[in-house]
């Protein structure tokens, strides 16, 4: 029973399973059929949509192309133009490259040719040097045999001769260059001086410092001299000035002290108007006059310092500048002279542009301050003045310019040369100084004697009022080399022995004359 029941159950289960599978297979077939239908429909729809999209894309592309066509055409034209330019540039570069390459090749070939030529010339040069060496040895041997002198001595003599010839040639060229430089410098100097003098504001002073006290009649003379000339002797004692009466009835004063002479002159002028002068009168007049003169000295010193913009000068220096009011050189008033030199130094410095105008004016103003003291101290006024201003606080460059303006010290600065130039200009201005005929003749005679003292000089001529000395020499006794040295020696001796404003030009003439007769 049991087995039968189990067999029936299993058969029923199998049937159920079979039916279930058949049902699923039927459903699966139906689903597959449905899916194929759906896929076919989807493909058809997709194909239709694809065709629509293609049409839309073609329409959009046509529309976009229609809008962008002008720009595209323009871009294409520019691209073609750039392409043409690139091709032209490339072709030009290729041509230039090929040309440069050809030139380089030509140069390389030329250098190779030149190198071979140089080697050939070097070979020829070596052969020639060897030949010259052989000839030189042969020549020296022959010279030794003929002259019985060693070759070294002959060679040394020839070298010395060449050196002398080269030295002479160099000196000639140096002299030529020096003349050219001097000519150019003279032109520039004249231009600068003309420009500076055209701006110079001061007129030439007319004071000549001739202090003469005339005696009107014998009664006044007797009254002024006093009993036994005691009035005049007292005045001499007070002032230190020697007095005498000339045949023209004038008082003659003798003293190196310019301030003392001025005080004496003014005292005598006042004494003329005294009715009964005596020793006490002379003392009173001297004291009053001395005070007046010293006050004027102070005033003149302050005034000239202020005029040149040097108010900070030491009072002692200002006092000496005031004393120059009564100091004369070649009848030129030194008080006005130092003012002129100060102005000229300042103007020249401003024209040149390289120096301080204030220092230049100051150095020019102080350059002759030693002339106010040279009657009381030993030495040249340049040295005395330089030492004096150095003691009173002046700068070293100012002191040097003052000391060197007459070459007591070699000028080493532009400022020193400015002072020298301005001093010469002031002394050489027309009417600045007076020179007598005898003094002029003496100057000419001295210049002639100086030049003629040198051996070989045949004739001396003086030109331009003593500012040019022309010396003729014997060409047989004076060679070209010695002519240069002789000219310099004559100029040096003139500088040492003569005193003169400005400069003196020395010209030496050496001539060679050859004469023969053709028959």
Q: Does 479 share its domain with 502?
A: yes
Least confident of 19-33, 339-353, 459-473: 19-33
Q: Does 351 share its domain with 236?
A: yes
Q: Does 459 share its domain with 477?
A: yes
Q: Is the C-alpha dihedral spanning 293, 295, 296, 297 positive or negative? A: positive
Q: Does 304 share its domain with 358?
A: yes
| pTM to 2 decimal places | 0.53
Domain boundary among 378, 401, 428: 428
Least confident of 297-301, 353-357, 401-405: 353-357
Give me the pLDDT at residue 375, please.
Answer: 81
Q: What is the dihedral of CA 463, 464, 468, 470, to 10 degrees?
A: -20
CA neighbor of 329 nearest in space, from 372, 293, 297: 372
Q: Does 308 share its domain with 178?
A: no
The CA distance from 409 to 20, in Å, is 148
Both tokens assigned to 31: 């689903």
The answer as to whether 377 is a domain residue is yes
Q: Does 169 share its domain with 226?
A: no
The answer as to whether 16 is a domain residue is no
The answer as to whether 71 is a domain residue is no
Q: Does 283 share its domain with 226?
A: yes
CATH number at residue 420: 1.10.3210
Strands 213-214 and 250-254: antiparallel
Q: Does 368 share its domain with 231?
A: yes
Q: Does 441 share its domain with 422?
A: no
Task: Beginning with the edge strand found earlier in the chain, give each strand of the sheet holding 250-254 in spatial order.
Answer: 213-214, 250-254, 242-245
Q: Which domain holds residue 487?
A: 437-510
CATH number at residue 467: 3.30.300.20
215-254 burial string, b = 16+ CB within 10 Å, else e?
beeeebeebbbbeeeebbebbbebbebebebeeeeebebe
**Secondary structure in 3-state letters for 467-514:** CEEEEEECCCCCCHHHHHHHHHHHHHHHHHHCCCCCCCEEEEEECCCC
Q: Does 392 share its domain with 310?
A: yes
The answer as to whether 443 is a domain residue is yes
Q: Does 244 share its domain with 275?
A: yes
pLDDT single digits (tens) 139-159: 777 766 766 656 666 667 777
Q: For 265, what's the count of Cα atoms within 13 Å in the CB-facing half-sphere?
A: 18
Domain boundary among 390, 407, 428: 428
- End-to-end Cα spacing for the chain: 194
Domain boundary among 375, 399, 428: 428
The CA distance from 135 to 78, in Å, is 82
pLDDT single digits (tens) 214-272: 788 888 888 888 888 888 888 888 888 888 887 778 887 888 888 888 888 888 888 88
Higher pLDDT, 441 or 454: 454
Which among 113-122, 251-260, 462-471 has the top mean pLDDT?
113-122
Give me the pLDDT at residue 149, please.
Answer: 58
Both tokens assigned to 241: 């000035």
The answer as to whether 15 is a domain residue is no
pLDDT single digits (tens) 303-329: 999 998 898 999 999 999 999 988 888
Number of domains in the chain: 3
The answer as to whether 26 is a domain residue is no
Give me the pLDDT at residue 78, please.
Answer: 86
The answer as to whether 208 is a domain residue is no
The CA distance from 405 to 56, in Å, is 112
Does pLDDT of 72 surpass 90?
no
Q: Does 393 share its domain with 314?
A: yes
Both tokens assigned to 6: 């189990």
Tokens 């871009």 belong to residue: 75
The CA distance from 324 to 368, in Å, is 9
The answer as to whether 29 is a domain residue is no
């Amino acid at each position: 029973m049991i087995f039968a029941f189990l067999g029936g159950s299993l058969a029923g289960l199998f049937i159920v399973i079979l039916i279930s599978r058949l049902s699923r297979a039927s459903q699966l077939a139906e689903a597959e059929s449905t899916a194929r239908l759906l896929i076919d429909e989807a493909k058809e729809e997709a194909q239709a949509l694809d065709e629509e999209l293609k049409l839309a894309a073609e329409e959009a592309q046509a529309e976009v192309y229609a809008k962008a066509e002008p720009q595209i055409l323009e871009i294409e034209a520019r691209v073609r133009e750039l392409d043409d330019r690139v091709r032209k540039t490339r072709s030009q570069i290729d041509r230039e490259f090929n040309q440069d390459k050809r030139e380089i090749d030509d140069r390389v070939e030329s250098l190779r040719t030149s190198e071979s030529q140089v080697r050939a010339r070097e070979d020829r040069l070596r052969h020639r040097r060897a030949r010259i060496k052989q000839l030189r040895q042969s020549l020296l041997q022959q010279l030794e045999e003929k002259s019985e002198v060693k070759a070294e001595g002959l060679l040394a003599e020839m070298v010395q001769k060449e050196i002398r010839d080269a030295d002479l040639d160099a000196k000639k060229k140096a002299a030529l260059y020096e003349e050219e430089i001097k000519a150019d410098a003279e032109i520039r100097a004249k231009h600068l001086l003309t420009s500076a003098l055209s701006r110079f504001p001061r007129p030439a002073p007319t004071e000549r410092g001739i202090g003469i006290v005339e005696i009107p009649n014998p009664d006044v003379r007797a009254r002024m001299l006093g009993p036994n000339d005691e009035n005049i002797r007292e005045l001499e004692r007070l002032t230190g000035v020697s007095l005498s009466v000339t045949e023209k009835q004038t008082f003659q004063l003798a003293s190196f002290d310019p301030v003392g002479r001025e005080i004496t002159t003014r005292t005598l002028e006042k004494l003329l108007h005294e009715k009964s002068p005596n020793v006490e009168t002379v003392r009173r007049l001297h004291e009053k006059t001395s005070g007046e003169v010293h006050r004027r000295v102070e005033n003149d010193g302050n005034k000239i310092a202020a005029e040149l913009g040097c108010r900070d000068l030491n009072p002692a220096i200002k006092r000496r500048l005031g004393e120059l009011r009564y100091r004369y050189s070649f009848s030129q008033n030194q008080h006005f002279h130092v003012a002129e030199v100060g102005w000229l130094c300042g103007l020249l410095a401003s024209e040149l542009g390289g120096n301080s105008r204030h220092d230049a004016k100051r150095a020019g103003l102080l350059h002759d301050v030693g002339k106010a003291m040279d009657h009381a101290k030993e030495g040249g006024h340049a040295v005395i003045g330089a030492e004096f201003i150095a003691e009173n606080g002046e700068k070293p460059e100012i002191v040097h310019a003052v000391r060197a303006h007459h070459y007591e010290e070699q000028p080493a600065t532009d400022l020193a040369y400015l002072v020298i130039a301005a001093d010469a200009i002031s002394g050489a201005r027309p009417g600045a100084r007076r020179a007598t005929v005898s003094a002029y003749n003496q100057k000419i005679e001295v210049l002639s004697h100086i030049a003629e003292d040198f051996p070989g000089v045949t004739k001396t001529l003086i030109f331009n009022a003593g500012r040019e000395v022309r010396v003729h020499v014997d060409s047989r006794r004076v060679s070209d080399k010695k002519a240069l040295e002789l000219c310099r020696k004559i100029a040096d001796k003139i500088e040492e022995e003569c005193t003169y404003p400005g400069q003196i030009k020395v010209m030496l003439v050496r001539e060679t004359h050859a004469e023969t007769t053709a028959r």
